[in-house]
Amino acid sequence: MKYEKELHFNEFHIPGWRCSCGEVYYDPEHAQKILLLNKLQKEALRAKLGRIRSNLVLRVPRQIEKALNLKKGEVVRLEMNGRQFTVVPDS
């Protein structure tokens, strides 16, 4: 088995191992995140808005937190597109 850093898996590149026989084994932690991302892209999730003092707070569902590896205190970007916005990890 040869370890490779970028094996193609569902439109993403993740680490894993490739056997000389052609069999591919993906890193399970990375593969699970990709499968969760694919699932989340197919369904509309709801999020709740809250308020802390004068700030409006968007509560992100745990599934998205895990799929995008978000952490408390992490800075994200809000990208505006008309009356819609996208939350993007700032990395």
Could you read off the pLDDT of 7-44 as tens digits, one per residue?
A: 988 888 989 999 999 899 999 988 988 888 888 888 87
Q: Residues near 32 by Cβ (< 8 Å), separated by ≥ 6?
A: none
User: Would you state the pLDDT for residue 91?
Assistant: 65
Residue 49 belongs to a domain: yes
Residue 82 belongs to a domain: no
- In the chain, the number of structural domains is 1
- Angle (nearest 5°) at CA 85 between 82 and 88: 140
Domain range enclosing 35: 2-72
Other C-beta atoms within 10 Å of 67: how many? 19
Q: Residues 52-87: pLDDT tens digits? A: 999 999 888 888 888 888 888 888 888 998 988 888
